[in-house]
Amino acid sequence: MSQPDPKLLEEISQLRADLDSANYRYYVLDEPQLTDADYDRKLQRLKRLEAENPSLISADSPTQRVGAAPAEGFPAVAHAIPMLSLDNAFSREDIIAFAERVAERLECEPDDIEFSCEPKLDGAAVSLVYEQGVLVIGATRGDGRTGEGITSNLRTLRSVPLKLMGGSIPDLLEVRGEVIMRHTGFEALNERAREEGSKVFANPRNAAAGSLRQLDPRITATRPLEFHAYQAARLEPDMGDASHSALMARLSTLGFRTSAELTILHGPDAVTDYCEQLGEKRDQLGYDIDGVVIKVNDLRHQRELGFVARAPRWAVAFKFPAQEEVTTLNDVEFQVGRTGAITPVARLEPVTVAGVTVSNATLHNADEIERLGVMMGDTVAIRRAGDVIPQVVRVDTEKRPPDARAIIFPDSCPVCGSEIERLEGEAVARCSGGLYCAAQRKEALKHFASRKALDVDGLGVKLIEQLVDLDWVKTPADLFYLSVEQLQSLPRMGEKSATNLVNALETAKSTTLARFIYALGIREVGEATAVNLASHFGALKALQDADQTALESVSDVGPIVAAHVHTFFRQPHNIETLQALLEAGITWQESEVTQGPTPLEGQTWVLTGTLDTMTRDEGKARLQALGAKVAGSVSRKTTCLVAGEAAGSKLIKAEQLGVEVIDEATFITRLADWEQS
């Protein structure tokens, strides 16, 4: 057999290294390095070279994540070291008692003990075994002693290294951690499942566990799963790490994602404060946690403490309140959204879910009502997590009262009486009334005046409803013809407020093309897409005239969004509204640039804290339009940090690393300069 060409070997090896590094940067560090297009180009090139030279394919090649054929079942995997559960703590007293138990055994004071605290991820626990740096087995926890071998499925997660990174590779490593699904990924997965009539998951934990137990790894590969490491169960040879936190730092250098929230604290008081603070942050993390894991940090102390029955003596799980509670569904109302979508909303007997009173929950659509098999009067489980709207996730039919009533989906709009249409293959039913429907008009106006759109100060929800109910405002353009006298005649509206509103409307007339596009409320065109459309086309006319292909060439615009945009600009009533808005005096600075220069090419920016004049999404889209990468965390590679109001740990890190930090005012000035250059 002829020897492979050294140049070919070199190219393959370089492509693999580049792709591994890009994966690590993207899925572990949240700091994208390659653009999606560059990544795909390299992956395609590697796939081609491997297809032409099959003998050069290796199991740890980045092309081999989704290689395996569907399985018949999962083999049993005996855990060399049992995967134990943790004891729970529910109160400050429980934490103090844990620290005292530890102190007694270690013969020291509770306040002298170093604890490592980290969020308790609520996903599916798994174990990964690496031999000579290569992933050989991935398994579920199972009953703690024996799990299911799901190696082919775990290989599809891009945060699971197929081979370890760095120069110092252990002979054997068994890493344990949690596979989680973030709220955004979970919502999108369920949304798609509702549309397709496939399985809807009750929560991200079930979605993660269910996705890992697919017989076909190609299905797992489509699920937005992430692996977070939290323990090294076996490490040979011992690499001299003295603490849990040092081990976590080592796992990070070997290519794993570890908790960015891990904090070392001394004594139970500091630990309790951490639990409280994390509890307050819980809703903003973007993924489910059900508590805090508190570990004795010193590994010698851990060994000394050992285990009791099924749990280590050196750790405890402080549990937060549950995110699911049970209550009664009293009634169902049908709400009409901006695009006419009819959403059934459950009116509930108020219940506190993870510290917040919930009295409404979404039932999504008619299919979901059918899937849940829910009736008015039923006892239902409600889930509330993060910023996601509370949902009805289950019905306890055994508790159904004899007078429970069926939920009948209306066939005419509850607001305007127009027919409700449901297109073939769509889960959503819509009112066909368009802007004739007062509900849709109100929602369109609320959107138009909202902060990310034209940002009309003083034009609140209640006022918009009055203006529509009085028939004073039919289209957004009508807003600009309201007079102080007219507004003053409204209840609770004095001359000053009326004047302020008219002035605010006048101010709002000078805007940006991106805000104007967003304000139009085109389906699927959010703020970031609007920014991309604006910077791509530069002028409204160019956007209006763009055909489907031209629209699809805009970053982040796919066929569906392109079709919505294209259709929007061809509807006679939209053309009229646009005309009327321009006649009312709305202006912005148009630029002729299409795909302008990218002065920030090669730079990495981070945005933190609250910005006053724009959202972080808008700032991010504008930076990206100028060629910058926008990362989620600060590192040595960060070019500049934009620090808004109440910037926290990222600001501290940037200062420590000597990364340039600018405030919002400077940011705006620089953006404007670059955008005009």
Residues that bind ligand 9MJ (CB under 6 A): 86, 118, 120-121, 178, 230-231, 293, 315
Q: How far is the C-alpha of 440 from the C-alpha of 95, rounded, in Å? A: 52
To the nearest whole angstrom, how small is the minimum distance from the Cβ of residue 498 to ligand 9MJ?
A: 55
Strand partners, 228: 178
Report the distance separating Cα 615 and Cα 360, nearest Å.
27
Taken in order 442, 446, 447, 453, is the CA torsion positive or negative? Answer: positive
CA distance 285 to 278: 9
**Minimal distance, residue 440 CB to ligand 9MJ, in Å:** 44
- Our answer to whether residue 462 is catalytic in this structure is no
Closest Cα to residue 588, out of 644, 550, 623, 537? 537
Of 88, 95, 120, which is closest to residue 110 (Cα–Cα)?
95
Nearest residue (CB) to ligand 9MJ, 33 versus 127? 127
Q: Helix, strand, coil % (nearest 5) of the chain?
A: 40, 20, 35
CB 319, min distance to ligand 9MJ, A: 11
Token pair recorded at residue 258: 């570890």
Residue type, 78: A
Rounded to whole angstroms, the Cα distance separating 352 from 132 reads: 50
Smallest distance, ligand 9MJ to C-beta of residue 77, A:
18
- Per annotation, catalytic residue among 42, 47, 120, 541: 120
CA gyration radius, the chain: 28
What is the three-class DSSP state of 343? strand
Residue (of 531, 452, 116) closest to 297 by Cα position:
116
Give the DSSP H/E element, type plus range, for residue 381.
strand 379-383
The Cα–Cα gap between 342 and 429 comes to 6
Please identify, using beta-carbon distances, which residue of 225 and 293 lies nearer to ligand 9MJ: 293
> Quick one: 219 or 260, whose CB is closer to ligand 9MJ?
260
Q: How far apart are CA 33 and CA 24, in angstroms?
A: 9
Closest CA relative to residue 372, chosen from 401, 349, 392, 399: 392
Residue 23 dihedral angles phi and psi, to the nearest 5°:
-60, -45
Least distance to ligand 9MJ, CB of residue 587, Å? 53
Give the 3-state secondary structure of 223-235: CCEEEEEEEEEEE
659, exposed or middle or buried, with CB in 10 Å at 0-12, 13-18, 19+? buried
Q: Is residue 491 reached through a cis peptide bond, with omega within 30 degrees of 0 on the bond before it? A: no
Cβ proximity to ligand 9MJ: between 86 and 271 the closer is 86
Measure the CA–CA gap between 520 and 506, rounded to whole angstroms: 18
Query: Considering the complex, what minimum distance in angstroms separates the CB of residue 293 from ligand 9MJ?
Result: 4
Question: Phi and psi (nearest 5°) for 640?
Answer: -155, 140
Q: Which is nearer to ligand 9MJ, 176 or 446 (CB)?
A: 176
In terms of Cβ atoms closer than 10 Å to its own Cβ (0-12, 13-18, 19+), residue 361 is buried
Task: Give me the active site residues, please.
Answer: 120
